[in-house]
Amino acid sequence: MLYFEFKGEFGPDVKSLEGSTLNISATHFTNQILIQIRASGEMDSTYEVTQRGIRPMEQIFSRPIAGQNGVLEENEEEEEEFETMRDHLSDYNVIVRLGDSNDAKIPVICTQIANLYQTVILPQSAPVLRGDNFSGVNLLITLNSKMWRQDENDSNVDFAKLVFLLKSIKEMYVK
């Protein structure tokens, strides 16, 4: 079991939380990571984030979500500028364990955190955290959902909060 911790304050770009403390802790177990995110010392919601399906990682990374599937109709011409796109966030399943299940922002935030762990934190820290196998890690995220409700109509502030949160989580592992 490994334990990581981060303490910081929100800056002036997040007016509603400026000066408030942000405490993040992560406890790594064999098959699960417990992440606790406290804003002003509070936590009120818990979400479980798992990878969707039982496909191997090679299939997950090669599956396109948009574009042609290689078969053209008789009257269609191939577009040279057309590229398939990949939605990495659709690979995660977010389950509400405690909190408001109607809140649409928090599952997006949880998938962003899961994507950060899957693409940056676990691969860079593989020998220390998980060895070479980090594909079966589930996240249990407990956080303060009030910090996302304070600026209901300002998506720029929500984005600034998300960027600060992701940077803080990444910084927690760099130390």
Residue 116 belongs to domain with CATH number: 3.30.230.90
Query: Is the residue at 54 inside a domain?
Result: yes
- Do the Cβ atoms of 19 and 12 come closer than 8 Å? no
Q: Is the pLDDT of residue 79 over 60?
A: no
Q: Is 37 a member of any domain?
A: yes
Q: Is residue 73 part of a domain?
A: no
The count of structural domains within the chain is 1
For residue 61, pLDDT beyond 80: no
Report whether pLDDT(46) > 90. yes
Residue 74 is assigned to a structural domain of this protein: no
pTM for this prediction: 0.78
- In this model, does residue 78 exceed pLDDT 50? yes
Give the pLDDT confidence score for residue 110 in this predicted structure: 95
The answer to whether position 95 is within a domain reads yes
Mean pLDDT of 6-12: 90
- What the block records as the tokens of 85 is 């796109």
The predicted structure's pLDDT at residue 1: 87
Q: Quote the CA–CA distance of 29 and 26 in Å, as a whole number.
A: 10
CA distance 169 to 117: 9
* Residue-range definition of the domain harbouring residue 144: 2-66+80-172
The whole-number average pLDDT for the span 68-83 is 55
* Mean pLDDT, range 4-24, rounded to an integer: 88
Per-residue pLDDT at 58 exceeds 70:
no
Instruction: Judge whether 26 lies within some domain.
Output: yes
- In a domain? residue 71: no
Longest Cα pair distance anywhere in the chain, in angstroms?
Answer: 62
pLDDT of residue 29 exceeding 70, the answer is yes
Question: What is the predicted pLDDT for the residue at 60?
Answer: 46
Over 60: is that where the pLDDT of 169 sits? yes
Given a cut of 90, is residue 139 above it in pLDDT?
yes
Which residue pairs, CB below 8 angstroms and at least 24 apart, start in 152-161? 157/13, 157/14, 157/15, 157/16, 158/105, 160/13, 160/14, 161/10, 161/14, 161/17
Residue 113 in any domain: the answer is yes
- pLDDT: is 100 or 154 the higher one? 100
Instruction: Say if residue 65's pLDDT is above 80.
Output: no
